[in-house]
Amino acid sequence: MNTNETILIVDDNPTIRLVLSRYLKKEGYIIYEASGAQDMRAKTKKIQPDLILLDWILPDGDGLTLTGELRRLNQEVGIMMLTGKADDTDKVVALEMGADDYLVKPVNLRELLARIRSVLRRRVSSSLFSEMATNALSKPKLAQFSGWHIDFIKRTLSRVPGEETILTSQEFRLLEELIIMAPHVISRARLLEVLLGRHYNAETRSIDVIIGKLRQKIEQQRQKPRIILTVRGMGYQLATEVQFIS
């Protein structure tokens, strides 16, 4: 598998770096290594990693401080903490500082790989949204799709102008996301992050509930949706043409 995605492993233990490097290279990732905080800073000036595997305790710094530093410099890079600290408080603090995930050593390599892929998927989705949202700023603030009219300024949705369909703030935000990203499929993880923030509970079914309520309001047949489709294993898609109007 060739991903062309770059991972920087920051750990002062050369054995750990070697094991992780060999495993992730076999999975198609481009790997760089750093033995400490200063080495990491030097590497990140030369390369732009997609994800950083960051040890909590380094000889010349600590992972928490470095996480905050990295996040201030780059909002998009994925950050995963690898640490011997198993306390839930430490995990919460790391996440609040800006880490995307947190794994306790010794790590299971298959679990590590799965979590890396999850973080990178969210990163790609977030980057795509930012690009689409930036482009959308130059477009009119009204749009039409499947006979519906949406006003992004007044935050209203109507079948016929003047006859408003009431949406909750979360329903409107989710629909707005689907419209901006159409026809791209948006992952549940991305939608959860948009509505609930970075530190959402991955097990929550709130997105599915909101999608169900939206379908009830805009689909002719909720059980056979034609506007908002479920793409199994990937997420949701606005499967209709969107026309931006002045």
**What is the spatial distance between Cα 67 and Cα 194, in angstroms, rounded to a whole number?**
22
What is the pLDDT at residue 76? 79
What is the pLDDT at residue 128? 52
DSSP string, 158-206: EEETTEEEP--HHHHHHHHHHHHHTTS-B-HHHHHHHHH-TT--TT--H
- pLDDT tens-digit profile of 187-211? 887 788 777 765 555 556 778 888 9
What is the pLDDT at residue 34? 96
- pLDDT tens-digit profile of 20-40? 999 999 999 999 999 999 999
**What is the spatial distance between Cα 98 and Cα 186, in angstroms, rounded to a whole number?**
22
pTM greater than 0.95 (yes/no): no
What is the pLDDT at residue 235? 86
Q: Which residues of the chain have pLDDT under 50?
A: 137
Q: CB burial class (10 A; 0-12, 13-18, 19+) of residue 229?
A: middle
- Domains in the chain (CATH in brackets) are 6-129 (3.40.50.2300), 139-245 (1.10.10.10)
What is the pLDDT at residue 17? 95
**DSSP symbol at 48:** -
